[in-house]
Amino acid sequence: MQAKSDSLKSKCLADSQPLIMTQQLTALPIPNLVQRQREFFRTEQTQSIAFRLEQLAKLKQAIIDRQEAIIQAAKADLGRPAFEAYFEIATLGEINLALKQLKHWVKPQRVKSPIDQFPASAWIQPDPLGVVLIIGPWNYPFQLMMSPLVGAIAAGNCAMLKPSEHAPHTSQVVAELISDTFDPQYIAVAEGDANISQQLLAEKFDHIFFTGGTAIGRIVMAAAAQHLTPVTLELGGKSPCIVDSDIHLDRAAKRIAWGKFINTGQTCIAPDYLLVQRQIKPDLVDRIKYYIKEFYGENPAVSRDYGRIIHRRHFDRLITFLDRGEIVLGGDHNLADRYLAPTLIDGVTWDDPVMQEEIFGPILPILTYDELEEAIAQVNARPKPLALYFFSQDRHKQDRILQATSSGGVCINDTVMQVGVNSLPFGGVGESGMGAYHGKASFDTFSHSKSVLRREFWLDLGWRYAPYTAQKLKQIKGIVTG
């Protein structure tokens, strides 16, 4: 059996086709597997509510059974402490919500039909899209692969998964979990580098869900356009953290420090920079420094609670940001260990390199403002961020921020925690992404809202048929103008 598998594998490699190993150890090129998924979808098995619930339950149990493997993979890929690694398993909350609400989500939604359509009934029913592609990132490589999969399963689709090659240990866990749990004609995993992604993007899918950087997001969208495939892009951007003088200083500092430095700052919704009211800045910076030391000790390099940068290229990129401004805490780094200390940089300008692109690491630049409108203007002069944070006890200022700024989401008086509310759709706007997921939003993303009108035969008013008499013209004017 192994010799046969090796022979098939060699043949496919000679044909320059990326391989997927199915449960039967049969090597299949990606186009063949996508076709098999499309054929399976056409059997309509995935549309059964009982089938969907069964698959969600299987996914839930598979994750529960592999908790330790998931945690160890996150540690191997990102140096994550066990506590933060459990964020990867938060997908269980998404599954539990889907299991509880799916029968409600799939119900057709009745709508009123106008009197001129009488006798008729109208409704909107959610239909599965078909075969979908989910491309995951490396920063939360398990959770951000599984969470959209929950929506795809709940909506009744087949799915192809592409984990990030930059988190190889987690990619392997994902591949083993999926292959052990699902038939590949239903859900399959394609592991590999950018070449595999390119081959996948050459196929026609019914939806593509991508989480990652803006530059790759543009590539994904361009490839999808060749097939007119709709996309959901979960990107990022420079998420501002605006701090007013009217705050609970200690708790604000603690929450900012936590949100910025979990996963070593490699979180798409981490506060990217501080924009602090000038009066409060010295005290706030002092308290943030205090909490960084409380979280990770005097030397974070030896802390069991502080992770590492994902790879050399990203590490080198982050180090270039240390050349401008005044480092008021941190800055220490070690390439051999991919270690970069939690770092605060003061004295930066809007034109410095650290303010020109998303940081995605443990570096927090500090800028100031005098009046809130000044801060709002600075934020609005830049691409719309995935998240915006505002610390203030002033309800009027909170309302002003909500009205005057645009971002994927807003969290007031905390950081990052908004992502844990499954009933809140999560997604970007503008350059920070398009589309949303989590909870019902995930189900909607992977569904088509099909509009249906049903007429009856027992009555047929003749107002719409030729010849168009003066009376019929009067009728249509009344219908159109109300």
The CATH number of whichever domain residue 126 belongs to comes to 3.40.605.10
Domain membership of residue 330 (yes or no) is yes
Tally of domains in the chain? 2
> Which domain, by its residues, includes 121?
2-235+437-447
The reply to whether 453 falls in a domain is no
A 10 A CB-CB count for 204 gives 15
pLDDT of 214 reads 92
Whole-angstrom distance, CA of residue 67 vs CA of residue 202: 34
Regarding whether 185 and 155 lie in a shared domain, the answer is: yes
Let me know if residue 283 belongs to a domain. Answer: yes
Residue 441 confidence (pLDDT): 97
Task: Output the CA–CA distances (angstroms, integers) from residue 192 to 260, 371, 445, in the order listed.
Answer: 30, 50, 26
**Residue 276: C-alpha distances to residues 183, 241, 273, 295, 372 (Å):** 53, 8, 10, 22, 10
Q: Which of 191, 268, 358, 431 is catalytic?
A: 268
pLDDT of 27 reads 54
Q: How many CB atoms lie within 10 A of CB 375?
A: 24
Angle at 20 between CA 17 and CA 21, to 5 degrees: 135
229 and 245 co-located in one domain? no
In this structure, the answer to whether residues 76 and 193 fall within a common structural domain is yes
Active site residue 12: no
Tell me: do 393 and 441 sit in the same domain.
no
Among 217, 227, 19, CA closest to 135:
217
> Based on the domain organization, do 221 and 275 belong to the same domain?
no
In a shared domain, residues 98 and 74: yes
* SS3 label, residue 299: coil
Query: pTM for the complete prediction?
Result: 0.91
462 falls within a domain: no
**In this structure, are 227 and 362 located in the same domain?**
no
At 205 the pLDDT is 98
Active-site pick, 84, 191, 203, 234: 234
Q: At what angle do helices 194-201 and 214-225 cross, to 10 degrees?
A: 30
Q: What is the pLDDT of residue 370?
A: 97
Residues 277 and 230 in one domain: no
In a domain, 34, yes or no: yes
Examine residue 460 and state whether it is found in any structural domain, yes or no. Answer: no
Report pLDDT for 15: 36
Same domain (yes/no): 271, 374: yes
Domain end position, chosen among 367, 387, 422 = 422
**Cβ–Cβ under 8 Å, residues 74 and 141:** yes
pLDDT, tens digit only, all 482 positions of the chain? 333 333 333 333 333 334 344 343 335 789 999 999 999 999 999 999 999 999 999 999 999 999 999 999 999 999 999 999 999 999 999 999 999 999 999 999 999 998 888 999 999 999 999 999 999 999 999 999 999 999 999 999 999 999 999 999 999 999 999 999 999 999 999 999 989 999 999 999 999 999 999 999 999 999 999 999 999 999 999 999 999 999 999 999 999 999 999 999 999 999 999 999 999 999 999 999 999 999 999 999 999 999 999 999 999 999 999 999 999 999 999 999 999 999 999 999 999 999 999 999 999 999 999 999 999 999 999 999 999 999 999 999 999 999 999 999 999 999 999 999 999 999 999 999 999 999 999 999 999 999 999 999 999 988 889 999 999 899 888 888 87
CATH of the domain at 280: 3.40.309.10
pLDDT value at residue 116: 85
Q: Does the residue 304 lie in any domain?
A: yes
Rounded Cα–Cα distance for residues 3 and 14 (Å): 17
Q: What is the pLDDT of residue 115?
A: 85
Place of tokens 């190993």: 21
411 a catalytic residue: no
The Cα–Cα gap between 299 and 287 comes to 17
What pLDDT, on a 0 to 100 scale, did the predictor assign at position 463? Answer: 86
Domain match, 209 and 323 both: no
Please report whether residue 327 resides in a domain.
yes
Same domain, 335 and 348: yes
Q: Alpha-carbon distance 424 to 292, whole Å? A: 30
Domain match, 37 and 113 both: yes
